[in-house]
Copies of this chain bind each other. A is one copy, B any other.
Amino acid sequence: MDLPRRVTIREVGPRDGLQAEAPLPVHQRAGLIDMLTGANLPKIEAVSFVSPKAVPAMADAAEVWRLVRRRPEVSYSALVPNRRGAEAALEAGGFASLQAFVSASDGYNTHNLGKTVEESLGDVRDVVDAAAAAGVPVEVSISCAFGDPYGGEVPVELVVSVAERVAEFGAAGVSLGDTTGMTNPRKVWELIPLLRERLPGLQLNLHFHDSRGAALANVVAAMEVGVDEFDASVGGLGGSPFAGGQSGANGNLATEDLVAMLMGMGIQTGVDVMALFTAARMLEGLVGHAVPGRAWRTDYPELGWASPL
């Protein structure tokens, strides 16, 4: 099989992972970002400039960001919901990119954001415009790109059309989210080649959840059709509180599970897997419950890692 030699991982734990948790002190949120920086992750979604009423765990984004011990080789990003969020992020400064978001289908968009897809696309356009004036690129997360828990099947044409819209606005890339872990390799093979054919210049990142245990299968399927950038969350922490089921049951793909598999396959990530194992263990203490990631719980005789359990 012809797979990429190198894969880029965008760590989303400090934002997507923590957003549904009880709020942590700002210095611990910054500390988690520092640990992930120390694990040599090339991209980290650090904070979110959303309403602290809507998402209390993401409050005080500017203060967290001020405390982060940034390294120049890491591309940090901030999630922003609209022009106001973008302006706050740009004022804080230092982000390599901003992350806007919209769902591929109205069902989830309405439940998650209280707006239609069309209304959210207006926000995305505002974010791109504001960021463009400051010379900062924008990537757009398109959620439910592989299925919508409120609307079932999401036609590939619908996903491509939303991606085309954000590309027209001037977005640098898209991240297609399997927000509730509904997808499988067959759907990946259906959507991705079509998207790349229609939007060959657009940067592409995939964001899988491991709700059904198939996240790594989807990663391999995506690599087979040329995808070389993935989101992941340390410990598998995360999962939208609006997505149904328990947070853990809708957890993100665990960064350490992803890195460990890629290492075994000889695909480079540049990430220090042992530092991730340590971060995942510490995370359980930080959030006060078990996290769904698997790799650090077991033995890796080939790495000299013994299960701490």
Contacts and interface: CB of A to CB of B under 8 A. Distances in A.
Contacts of A248: 297
A1 B212 CA distance: 22
Given A149-B299, A265-B184, A1 B189 contact: yes
Interface stretch (A43-51, A84-92, A156-164, A215-223): A215-223
B211 A298 contact: yes
A246 B186 contact: no
Nearest to A251: B294
B265 A298 contact: no
Nearest to A307: B245
A292 to B, nearest CB: 8
A210 interface: yes
B217 A261 contact: yes
Contacts of A266: 186
A307 B244 contact: yes
Interface string A267-309: 0000000000000000000000000111101110110001101
Place the interface of chain A in its size category.
35 or more
A180 interface: yes
A182 B1 CA distance: 20
21 contacts: A1-B224, A182-B264, A184-B261, A187-B264, A212-B294, A212-B295, A213-B254, A213-B257, A213-B293, A216-B216, A217-B220, A220-B220, A244-B301, A244-B306, A245-B298, A245-B299, A245-B307, A246-B297, A249-B297, A249-B298, A249-B307
Contact of A298 (B186, B221, B224, B250): B250
Contacts of A215: 213
A42 interface: no
Contacts of A302: 147, 152-153, 182
A246 to B, nearest CB: 5
